[in-house]
């Protein structure tokens, strides 16, 4: 949403992409530099839920025009966090409708008085629909709860003697058949059972619809002529690494660009000039996944230096982007990273934890990455929505490979395949690719999870959606995750990799683990015979309540979860020699869901509890993943077996 005067795209090079983007402006992560500052707005915000019958009292009374406390009582609300679980009010836990956040921000004098400084308000995630005011002036709206948006507020904060600004954000978590994810509002009209106007939010996905300001809110500055976007693609020519770059500048037509690529020691290994070009890196260090190389996740730094001539004189901007040199390719039976077969042994996750809900939290994030590396996991899918940018940065840093998934979960109703829904889904993919295109850890896009892809409109929907995503980024394969029948799935012809979810001996054949091997082998053989594409077992697992033990195993015991995994692994070990290229357990950790008789305070399929303590299956999976890592054979001498003991995660 960043605006600007004239913009200048350099001509697209043959190895660059972006032709499908209809969005205006870039979405570079706000990093500090010699020309850029940032001010975090985390902490306690004033908060109020609009409990009025229509949920529109805040708009009718214009709560944004004056401090929120003047129009009624407010609560203290931590940001980032979900609002649902931090209080003792059950009404707030299940609230559907508009909530209001407000915060006063004091600004440095140089921000408000220097006309050569551009001040930007950036919101990492507001779920689901957000409207933003600054000092009572409407500045932005955004649909979608898992991707960032921003707005230039320079004119508002530089127009008078004010040294602070009042930021008001109204957020609505209502889901409809055309939102992503979709949902429906069901009105209960039987007044003998329900109060007048009573309604509930229904969804077709199995996680709680947490809401609020889930990720950091901040202010940052750039010069008024600034680096707006950078696109990187990488390749190899024998031992020479190739870094193709394209830089977008806003604010002036008259500028010079210098580009420097630095290694991890800070040494310049290549340099160039201009808005696009190719840097060649002799004897390049490649970005390798965790456990696939002695020195995984090697990151260079791309330093971009802008010098512009403006009416006010010369102006400079500086931005540094981490760069991993790596390639991705797919054959009929393999997934290749840097030309070597890669096998996904990883997890599905959720952004979910006690109290904070989906709120971003550094200690939790670091704990999760330590557990992933302890486990020997080399990958995860961002089920079922884009995760925080900081998560993606840690994946780049540690070499954890990512299947980057859109919020396209619960696409079940025919209405959710309408042109209105499709148009929004296309826009969401544009926002996702724009944000995550430069992350080496991201090796594949997933446009949806478990849609009703057997419905007639699904064929056109997914053909269009996948083609659009490929136009946005031809450098990565595209998939969606299916649980439809292989003969009936109308979207599968368009994916590069088949990702299939199945829960044999859990959602059917309850307790009968003896049928898993036959059913799973049949599943793989049917899909491969039909499509001749590599397959990932993208979900499998069983519900387990920590501390429940039963031998012989019964459902919900730790022994049953381990037994299901062992049966799956026997078949996976056969098929990974042929065309199966990955296995992702459902789930990394227990997580919250809507209440139902099938869910005991959430989904319990985690191999860790919601508090990140291991169940028995975590040790079984750890032993398997380290065994798989040792079998890769590329750097076997460097990959020490760590299936027993408490050794750290270094090689």
Distance CA(120)–CA(221), nearest Å, equals 6
Q: Name the nearest CA neighbour of 444 among 476, 472, 491, 408.
A: 476
360, 388 Cβ separation under 8 angstroms: yes
Residue whose entry in the numeric block shows the structure tokens 């991890």 = 264
The 3-state secondary structure of 319-372, one letter per residue = EEEEECCCCEEECCCCEEECCEECCEEEEECCCCECCCECCCCHHHHHHHHHHH
Distance CA(524)–CA(518), nearest Å, equals 10
Distances (CA, A) of 623 to 50, 85, 99, 617: 51, 36, 46, 10
Helix (H, G, I), strand (E, B) or coil at 4: coil
Any idea what DSSP says for residue 437?
A: T
Distance CA(202)–CA(200), nearest Å, equals 6
Catalytic-residue membership of 450: yes
528: Cβ contacts below 8 Å, ≥ 6 apart: 498, 535, 578, 579
Distance CA(156)–CA(260), nearest Å, equals 36
493, 460 Cβ separation under 8 angstroms: no
243, 325 Cβ separation under 8 angstroms: yes
β-pair type (129-134, 137-143): antiparallel
374, 649 Cβ separation under 8 angstroms: yes
Q: Which residues on neighbouring strands pair with residue 337, listed in sequence order?
A: 328, 340
The 3-state secondary structure of 141-179, one letter per residue = EEECCCCCEEEECHHHHCCCCCCEEEEEEEEECCCCCCC
Residue tagged active-site, from 450, 539, 558, 583: 450
Peptide bond into 384 cis (omega under 30): yes
Peptide bond into 128 cis (omega under 30): yes
Q: Which ranges of 382-457 would DSSP assign to H, the alpha helix?
A: 389-398, 419-436
Distance CA(387)–CA(369), nearest Å, equals 14
Q: What is the CA radius of gyration of the chain?
A: 25
**Buried-exposed string 562-579: b where 16+ CB fall within 10 A, e elsewhere:** bbbbebbbebbeebbeeb
562, 542 Cβ separation under 8 angstroms: no
**Buried-exposed string 153-181: b where 16+ CB fall within 10 A, e elsewhere:** bbebbbeeeeeebbbbbbbbbbbebbbbb
Q: Enumerate the active-site residues.
A: 450
């Amino acid at each position: 949403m960043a605006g600007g005067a004239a913009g200048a795209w350099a001509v697209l090079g043959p190895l660059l992409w972006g032709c499908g983007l209809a969005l205006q402006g870039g979405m570079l992560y706000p990093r500090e530099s010699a020309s850029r500052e940032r001010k975090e707005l985390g902490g306690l915000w004033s908060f109020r839920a609009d409990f009025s019958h229509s949920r529109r009292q805040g708009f009718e009374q214009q709560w944004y025009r004056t401090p929120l406390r003047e129009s009624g009582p407010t609560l203290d609300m931590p940001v980032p966090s979900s609002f649902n679980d931090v209080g003792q009010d059950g009404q707030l836990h299940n609230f559907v409708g508009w909530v209001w956040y407000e915060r006063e921000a004091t600004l440095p004098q140089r921000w408000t008085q220097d006309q050569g400084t551009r001040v930007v308000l950036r919101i990492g995630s507001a779920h689901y629909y957000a409207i933003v005011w600054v000092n009572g002036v409407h500045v932005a709206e955004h649909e979608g709860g898992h991707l960032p948006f921003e707005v230039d507020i320079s004119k508002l904060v530089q127009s008078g003697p004010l040294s602070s600004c009042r930021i008001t954000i109204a957020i609505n978590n209502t889901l409809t058949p055309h939102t992503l994810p979709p949902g429906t509002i069901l009105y209960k009209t039987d007044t003998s059972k329900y109060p007048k106007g009573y309604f509930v939010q229904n969804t077709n996905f199995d996680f709680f619809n947490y809401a609020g300001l889930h990720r950091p809110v901040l202010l940052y500055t750039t010069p008024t002529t600034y680096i707006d976007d950078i696109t990187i693609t990488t390749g190899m020519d024998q031992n020479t690494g190739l870094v193709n770059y394209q830089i977008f500048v806003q604010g002036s037509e008259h500028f010079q660009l210098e580009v420097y690529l630095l290694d991890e020691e800070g040494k310049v290994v290549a340099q160039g000039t201009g808005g696009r070009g190719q840097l060649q890196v002799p004897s390049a260090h490649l970005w390798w996944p965790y456990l696939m190389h002695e020195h995984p996740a090697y990151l260079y730094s791309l330093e971009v230096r802008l010098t512009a001539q403006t009416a006010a004189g010369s102006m400079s901007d500086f931005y540094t982007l981490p760069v991993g040199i790596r390639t991705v390719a797919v054959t009929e039976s393999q997934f290749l990273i840097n030309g070597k077969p890669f096998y996904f042994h990883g997890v599905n996750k959720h952004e979910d934890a006690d109290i904070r809900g989906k709120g971003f939290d550094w200690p939790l994030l670091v704990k999760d990455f330590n557990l992933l590396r302890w486990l020997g996991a080399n990958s995860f899918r961002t089920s079922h929505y884009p995760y925080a940018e900081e998560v993606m940065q840690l994946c780049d840093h540690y070499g954890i490979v990512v299947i980057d998934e859109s919020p396209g979960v619960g696409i079940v109703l025919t209405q959710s395949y309408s042109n209105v829904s499709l148009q929004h889904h296309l826009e969401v993919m544009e926002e996702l690719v724009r944000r995550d295109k430069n992350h080496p850890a991201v090796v594949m896009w997933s446009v949806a999870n478990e849609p009703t892809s057997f419905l007639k409109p699904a064929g056109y929907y997914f053909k269009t959606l996948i083609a659009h995503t490929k136009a946005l980024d031809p450098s990565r394969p595209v998939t969606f995750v299916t649980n439809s029948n292989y003969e009936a799935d109308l979207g599968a012809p368009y994916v590069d990799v088949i990702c299939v979810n199945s829960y044999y001996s859990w959602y059917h054949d309850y307790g009968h683990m003896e049928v898993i091997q036959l059913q799973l082998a049949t599943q793989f053989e049917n899909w491969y015979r039909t499509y001749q594409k590599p397959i990932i077992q993208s979900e499998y697992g069983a519900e387990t309540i920590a501390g429940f033990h039963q031998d012989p195993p019964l459902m919900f015991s730790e022994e049953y979860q381990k037994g299901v995994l062992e049966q799956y692994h026997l078949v996976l070990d056969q098929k990974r020699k042929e065309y199966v290229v990955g296995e992702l357990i459902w789930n990394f950790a227990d997580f919250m869901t809507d209440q139902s008789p099938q869910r005991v305070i959430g989904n319990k399929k985690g191999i860790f509890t919601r508090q990140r303590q291991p169940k028995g299956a975590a040790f079984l999976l750890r032993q398997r993943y380290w065994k798989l890592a040792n079998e890769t054979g590329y750097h076997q001498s460097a990959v020490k077996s760590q299936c027993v003991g408490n050794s750290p995660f270094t090689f």
